[in-house]
Amino acid sequence: MPYNLKEIIAEKPVRFTAGHRMCAGCGCPPAMRMILRALHPEDHAVVSVATGCMEVSTFIYPYTSWTDSFIHTAFECSAATMSGVEAAYQSMKKQGKLPQDKNTKFLAFGGDGGTYDIGLQSLSGAMERGHDMVYVCYDNGAYMNTGIQRSSATPHFADTTTSPAGKVIPGKMQPRKDLTEILEAHHLPYVAQTIGVNNFKDLYEKAEKAIYTEGPTFLNVLAPCPRGWGYPTDMLMQINKLAIDTCYWPLYEIENGVYKITYKPAKKLPIEEFLKPQKRFKHLFQPGNEWMIEAFQKEVDDRWEKLLQLEKATSEPNAEAK
């Protein structure tokens, strides 16, 4: 069925409601809401969320924004917690303790702090064990909930409260970790990197694939944070567009090891376009710091080039030739 945004919004239920207390203009809620819309309306879901913005602002006792079953336990174990829920489902369904005609899907969420860093082991374990679940990382590139501390997802040179751009050290001195590739190294049936942009087609379709592919699957979703990144709050969609047009955040998927880049910008924009609106990169534009932009550009180019090669190397004709 071809993607029809208006029909999806009009017909499919909202599974993440208003009344949550995420910041105005936050990039997470639109993306997460759309991912949940990819669920078939007749299916029940259990959602687990790691401690972080998407938990502490969406389930503040006694109010919850989640219309499906929801569990939060701690920061580093969204995946492990969900693996227990899923194990219970498989066991109880097999024993006839749950209705046979009802499907439940399992979605674990975590921010980059809870996924790239403190929750990486729990995620790796759950994926390796093969639980039938989707793990969704909403990557806003720092520990935003605790006040913008650097994570391993924080981009090179970014100014954060624990990698401040100072007189001697100009921001975070390490490039960001490539989590999507780490997950691909688990040989999962489906791994994708996506974003909520334009008509949200890329996000929705990947979410649907991830949810309805049997086994463990992974989505890495860039979710801008206006406070942490320091861009005007209303620029969410423009920032997302710049992230993909500069190839800072390539959109691609890997199905059983086969790479497919789902968006190739007609004209790849220079990385400055993405960096410039963001206060966390302000110091990169000071005279004498050109080398930082060059280094950033090189990093983006190298990763994009590698991705193009991976796509080529794993595409069908090549795969057959092997």
Instruction: Enumerate residues 175-214 that contact another protein by CB under 8 A.
Output: 196, 198-200
User: 24 or 321: whose CB is closer to another protein?
Assistant: 24
User: 141 or 226: whose CB is closer to another protein?
Assistant: 226
User: 76 or 159: whose CB is closer to another protein?
Assistant: 76
- Rounded to the nearest whole angstrom, what is the least distance from the CB of residue 47 to another protein in the complex? 9
The encoded tokens of residue 175 equal: 């490039």
Number of residues interacting with another protein: please give it, by CB under 8 A. 86
Cα distance between residue 252 and residue 314, in whole Å? 13
Task: List the one residue from 35, 36, 59, 176 that touches another protein (CB under 8 A).
Answer: 59
For residue 68, state whether it binds another protein (rule: CB under 8 A): yes
For residue 289, state whether it binds another protein (rule: CB under 8 A): no
Task: List the one residue from 35, 36, 55, 176 that touches another protein (CB under 8 A).
Answer: 55
For residue 24, state whether it binds another protein (rule: CB under 8 A): yes
Q: Which amino acid is it at 69?
A: S
Cα distance between residue 158 and residue 156, in whole Å? 6
Cα distance between residue 173 and residue 182, in whole Å? 21
- Residue 22: name the closest of 68, 74, 50, 60 by CA: 60
Considering only residues 227 to 256 of the shown chain, the ones binding another protein according to CB under 8 A are 233-238
Give, rounded to a whole angstrom, the gap between the first and last alpha carbons of the chain.
Answer: 33
Cα distance between residue 284 and residue 246, in whole Å? 17
Task: List the one residue from 36, 54, 65, 247 that touches another protein (CB under 8 A).
Answer: 65
- Tokens 């809401």 belong to 33
The encoded tokens of residue 226 equal: 């206006």
Cα distance between residue 13 and residue 38, in whole Å? 10
Task: List the one residue from 1, 41, 61, 317 that touches another protein (CB under 8 A).
Answer: 61
Site string for another protein, 261-280 (x = CB under 8 A): --------------------
Cα distance between residue 235 and residue 280, in whole Å? 15
Task: List the one residue from 40, 92, 270, 286 that touches another protein (CB under 8 A).
Answer: 92
DSSP lists the bridge partners of residue 66 as 16
User: 21 or 279: whose CB is closer to another protein?
Assistant: 21
For residue 19, state whether it binds another protein (rule: CB under 8 A): yes
Q: Which amino acid is it at 160?
A: T
The encoded tokens of residue 314 equal: 């794993």
Considering only residues 95 to 134 of the shown chain, the ones binding another protein according to CB under 8 A are 95, 97-99, 102, 104, 121-122, 124-126, 128-129
